[in-house]
Structure 1
């Protein structure tokens, strides 16, 4: 069975929209896209008057090299959010079917599904001494029972920070072969001391991996994300994608950020974050009023408090904004704290210590 058999039946021969930039033609006078013949008055280079390449070869090649895949296995888009939406739209009929999620987790999986009228089936994470862990048996059962076409896993998890064992992901994909696509969201993979699920693609065509330049590569404002999967699925997703998903300045910024020197600097910054993650976790765990600090393989810590409201208010009073997780399932006393610069992390500790004193 081909992975493209999981596509919506009505989209299997869907050609999509062919924009002016998808045509392989050459010339020195370009009159095929109804663009202005003059540059914008505020942009001297004149680059922005032209529509951008939908999938720039240089960017795809550089991203493929970075993530350890072939360019034909990668589709670039507007952050991981677009990839999530494309997968739901391509595999799930509107108003039918199901996707499986593992709450507490990244909310866009459920948002994209619900906007498409697709049922969201939950297989909650288990709160264990080792952190928030995926119940793979429950995930498989939920997917098979609901006939879900998509299973969304987050590794390292958001907000828990737990990385998933690749052998368990592979076993899940094998169990769901021909039934569902297992999507592994690796937005925080750079901070993890574990291999990427991209290594599983050769043996499991029903695995897709999401990556982003928003976190470790500090390009959240450029909105560059990737989905890595079987080339047949990538080609189908490209047909479902908007004509010009990547703005030219954002592509330029991404290519600049992916140079050899810049990658070396990024890795050095990641090493600092990992060291600070351990230091901040140890300091927070020793504070009164801190109930638990979860182990994390990401660039944040999930922290439970005796009085989360007091801690949240004290942090805000100190000018520190963290993520309030109390509305998430099972996290009614928790905040998520991104790892900042060392001096910023020190301010977090000081503010929480003051909250404990005044509580």
Structure 2
């Protein structure tokens, strides 16, 4: 069965908007897009009078090489957020349809679904001794029962940092073949140092993988992300996308970040972040007053405190801003702490170590299971 059978019926013959950059034409005088005939005079704007290519071939090819897919399997856009919104719009009729999420997880799945009028069904992650785990059998059963067109999985998870096993993702996609798309959000996969679900695409056409340059590549401000999926689904999503989603300066920044020297620097940066994550995790387990530190495969740690408000206030008093997770169901005592530089992480430990009841004890030996190298 073609993946296009999962598209909204009213969009299966939808052509979308054809911008002035959609037509492949050659010429020396371009008067087809109502652009300014002269460059701007403000500093830095001289090269911006033309609309950008909707899907710059150079960027698309560079991202495809980075993620191990074909160019036609990738759609670049404004971070992962746009891809989430496009998938919901393409597969779920407005005010209808169903998507499955597994909380606690990234909040934009629910926000985009709410704005689109898509019904959400939650299959909460199981909070066990090894951290948050996905009950794949229940997810599959619920998705089939509710006729869900989308299942959103975050791996590594946000905020728990848990990595989902690829064989289980593949098995879920197999069970939902012809009925739903399994979306694997891999915003933090570089820090897991593990294989990507992109490797599953050839065997499972109903898997879509979200990737971003925001985290490991230090380009959060450029807002460059992509969805990698079956080429026919990518073509359908492109028809639903805004005409010019990628600002030219952001494209140029992304291309610079994907040069070989910059990618080498990114790998070094990721290695340092992983080392600091493991060091910080061990240090947290050496403090009393902390109920639990979740094993993380991302660039953050989820930490439960006996006195979370006190810890939060002491961090703020030291000028350290962390993510308060206490409004999330089941995480009423938790803070999410991003991995900073060694000095920044030392400041976190100093602020918490000075907190009442947070005395230092000898650090435990690192558990080799916390890191699985690809």
The CA deviation string for residues 101-124 of structure 1, in whole angstroms up to 9 with x for no partner, is 000000000110110011010000
Structure 1 unaligned segments of length 5 or more: list them.
Answer: none
Give the equivalent residue in structure 1 for 2:234. 234
User: What is residue 319 of structure 2 aligned with on the other side?
Assistant: 319
1:137-170 deviation per Cα after TM superposition (whole angstroms, max 9, x unaligned): 1111111111110000000000000110000000
Calculate the TM-score normalised by the size of structure 1. Answer: 0.99
1:132 aligns with 2:137: no
Name the structure 2 match of 1:77: 77
Deviations 1:269-304 (A, max 9, x none): 000000000000000111111110000000000000
Give 2:219's aligned residue: 219
For 1:244, what is the secondary structure of its paired residue? Answer: coil
Give the Cα separation in 2 of the matches to 1:181 and 1:333: 34
Deviations 1:294-318 (A, max 9, x none): 0000000000000110000000000
- Contact map agreement 2:352 2:358 (CA 8 A) in 1: no
Could you give the per-residue CA deviations for residues 193-222 of structure 1, whole angstroms, max 9, x where no partner exists? 321000000000000000000000000000
**Is this contact kept in 1: 2:289–2:358, CA < 8 A?**
no
Compared CA separation, residues 313 and 58, structure 1 to 2 (3 A): same
Preserved CA contact (<8 Å) 1:288 1:356: no
Asked whether the equivalents of residues 323 and 335 of structure 1 are also in contact (C-alpha less than 8 Å), the reply is yes
Distance 2:45 2:297 in 1: 43
Q: How many residues align?
A: 359
Corresponding residue of 2:208:
208
Using the alignment, how far apart are the partners of 1:152 and 1:71 within structure 2? 23
Cα deviation code 1:83-105 (max 9, x no counterpart):
00000000000111110000000
Alignment correspondent of 1:284: 284
* Secondary structure at the counterpart of residue 48 of structure 2: helix
CA RMSD of aligned residues (A): 1.1
SS at structure 2 position matched to 1:48: coil
Q: 1 CA distance for matches of 2:91 and 2:330?
A: 30
SS of the aligned residue for 2:354 comes to helix
Offset of residue 47 of structure 1: 1.4
- Could you tell me which residue of structure 2 aligns to residue 351 of structure 1? 351
How far did 1:9 drift?
0.3
SS in 2 for 1:64: helix
Greater shift, 226-235 or 43-52, is seen at 43-52
Q: Secondary structure of the residue that 2:182 maps to in structure 1? A: strand
How far apart in 1 are the matches of 2:117 and 2:272?
A: 43
Are 1:173 and 2:179 an aligned pair? no
Q: Which residue of 1 aligns with 2:257?
A: 257
Q: Distance in 2 between matches of 1:173 and 1:144?
A: 11
- After TM superposition, the runs of 4+ consecutive aligned structure 1 residues lying more than 6 A away are none
SS at match of 2:53: coil
Give the TM-score of the pair, scaled to structure 2: 0.95
Note the alpha carbon deviations across 1:238-267, whole angstroms, 9 max, x for none: 000000000000000000010000000000
- Is the 1:311–1:356 contact (alpha carbons within 8 Å) kept by the matching residues of 2? no
> What's the CA shift string for 1:214-237, capped at 9, x where partnerless?
000000000000000000000000
Maintained 8 Å contact 2:288/2:358: no
Q: 1:284/1:358 Cα in 2 relative to 1: closer, same or farther (>3 Å)?
A: closer
Question: C-alpha displacement at 1:356, in angstroms?
Answer: 3.2
Q: CA deviation at 1:45?
A: 6.0
Counterparts of 1:45 and 1:98, CA distance in 2: 44
Q: 1:21 is paired with a residue of what secondary structure? A: coil
Q: Measure the CA separation in 1 of the matches of 2:218 and 2:327.
A: 28
Give the CA deviation at 1:175. Answer: 0.4
* Distance in 2 of aligned mates of 1:49 and 1:313: 48
Unpaired segments ≥5 residues, structure 2 = 360-374
